[in-house]
Amino acid sequence: MQVIHAAEGDTTERTGQPLFIGQVWGRALTSAETSADYALNVVQFAAGARTRLHAHSSDQLLYVVAGIGETGTPEGVHRIASGDTVLVPAGEAHWHGAGDTGSPMSHLSITRAGSETTIL
């Protein structure tokens, strides 16, 4: 068993990375050394920030830990808030973040270790 304390690890700015629009910060909670099965990250979006349309090679779970956000596919947009969970099937084109809600939003992102992300 391993306990990962809140004070361990670094939160890094991800603003400017190809996947993101607006100000975004992230912290990896697992790595290849800590889990062979899962990739777990906490991602913080400033108001108006979000991901670009993308897809993953594995399912993705998003769990909103704070704020109000949006997630969408080419077919429509859904408002999400603290305590909500989003299940995105592998290969589904989608985006997520604080969007146009006027609120920042933070979520946990869980994918299978080694899952690949394709920006569409």
pLDDT tens for the 120 residues of the chain, in order: 988 888 888 999 999 999 999 999 999 999 888 999 999 999 999 999 999 999 999 999 999 999 999 999 999 999 999 999 999 999 999 999 999 999 999 999 999 999 999 999
Residue 97 makes CB contacts below 8 A (sequence gap 6+) with 20, 21, 22, 24, 45, 49, 50, 51, 69, 70, 105
- The residue ranges of every structural domain in the chain are 12-119
pLDDT value, residue 7? 86
Fold for the domain defined by 12-119: Jelly Rolls (2.60.120)
Q: Are strands 117-119 and 95-97 parallel, antiparallel or unpaired?
A: unpaired
CB 13 within 8 A of CB 25: yes
Q: Which residue has the tokens 């990962």?
A: 4
For residue 109, with 0-12 CB atoms within 10 Å meaning exposed, 13-18 middle and 19 or more buried, which class applies? buried
pLDDT value, residue 73? 98
Q: Tell me, what DSSP letter sits at residue 10?
A: -
pLDDT value, residue 8? 86
CB 26 within 8 A of CB 39: no
Q: How far apart are the first and last CA of the chain?
A: 38
pLDDT value, residue 25? 98
